Amino acid sequence: MNELNQTMKLNPHLFEVGVEQAPIRKGYGEGLVAAGDANEQVVALCADLTESTQTLAFAKKYPTRFVEMGIGEQNMAAVASGMAAMGKIPFITSYAMFSPGRNWEQIRTTICYNDQNVKIAGSHAGVSVGPDGGTHQAIEDIAITRVIPRMTVLVPCDSIEARKATIAAAGHKGPVYIRLAREKSPIVTTDDTPFAIGKANLLFQPKDPDVVIISCGVLVYQSLHAARTLMEQGIRASVLNVHTIKPLDVEAVIAVARAAGRVITVEEHQAAGGLGSAVAELLSEQYPVPIKRIGVPDQFGQSGEPNELLTYFGLDSEGITRTVVNFVHT
């Protein structure tokens, strides 16, 4: 489609039925190995979930630079902080419900308060975890990490962007949280798609947009599909991929808000506290426009198949389309 931003060099098969899919966490595993290849100070720690979190490839290639911490996420964060103080670049990994969930205080105090160069990868985030249910669906993790001073928060949209985010995190000085999803999801980007921490990417840009959809993570793909459907209904929606929640790309968010005059945020997270809140905080102070946040509406997740849950919470392309139509016509 002509509305796709050609400078972003997106997947040419993006809107095809058989679009390639891969788990976002897979890109993390690939990026971790690449970061380890580039810098021998990179080390990895995992809390008894080495295979599930895709840390296994690093552990096999660099066994002397890998530590299996067992089911001890709080200890893992504290140990990583000590390793960082000695010049290492530790990546700690578990399910997001446990890290940064269970070990939030250790991340806050031992890592961020001391400004230690530790990277936290939270896998299996969002309701798309599926049958594991509400106890294992981290939908508060963006909120609890972005409020911590000195923390950078990354939410890649596919496995390729996750690989780039992991490599970038290794080269970024200071604490970083990388949010990862479990299930396979469509590949939106390519190796040539630009990625830089703190720089949002405008992926879909119709002329004279009526609304902008600001999205992150696996819902970027759903947002792009919604934008295409909306075009067919006479509503021009641009799509901004905000892979860095903190620091937010202030210039890009204000630019798309100014161009469209209406803003919809979309995330696989509580509607409160995450991307939508970050955008609303910025715009309310610097460029007030009508805004609608799409996310989980102040409730816990449920057990179900990933796509079934996205539909249930109105987070799939059809749900996003309905919300945008109602918002624009209000």
- CATH code of residue 257: 3.40.50.920
The CB density around residue 229, as the number of other CB atoms within 10 Å, is 17
170 in the same domain as 29: yes
Asked if 121 and 47 sit in the same domain, the reply is yes
Distance CA 138, CA 122 (A): 9
Same domain, 263 and 163: no
Our count of domains for the chain comes to 2
Last residue of a domain, one of 133, 160, 186: 186
> Is residue 123 situated within a structural domain?
yes
**Which SS3 state, helix, strand or coil, does residue 127 take?**
helix
The catalytic residues are 73
Asked if residue 209 and residue 61 are part of one domain, the reply reads no
User: Which amino acid appears at position 286 of this protein?
Assistant: Q
Give 34-70 pLDDT, tens digit per residue.
Answer: 999 999 999 999 999 999 999 999 999 999 999 999 9
231 assigned to some structural domain: yes
How distant, in Å, are the alpha carbons of 33, 70, 154, 167, 283 from that of 37?
6, 25, 22, 10, 41
Widest distance between CA atoms in the chain: 60
CA distances from 271 to 15, 260, 276, 279, 299 (A): 27, 22, 7, 12, 10
Same structural domain, 28 and 153: yes
Residue ranges for the chain with pLDDT beneath 50? none
Mean pLDDT taken over the chain = 97
| Pair (211, 95) in one structural domain | no
Q: Would you say residue 48 lies in a domain?
A: yes
The CATH code of the domain that includes 69 is 3.40.50.970
The partner residues of 154 in beta bridges, in order of sequence, read 178, 244
User: Is 240 found in the same domain as 124?
Assistant: no
* 1 in a structural domain: no
**Same domain flag for 199 and 258:** yes
Shared domain check, 157 and 46: yes
* Same domain for 206 and 153: no
H/E stretch holding 104: helix 104-106
Whole-number pLDDT of residue 2: 79
Both 41 and 88 in a single domain? yes
Tell me what pLDDT residue 1 has: 59
160 located within any domain: yes
The pLDDT score that the predictor gives to residue 238 is 98
Structure confidence at residue 330 (pLDDT): 85
Which structural domain range is residue 121 located in? 21-186
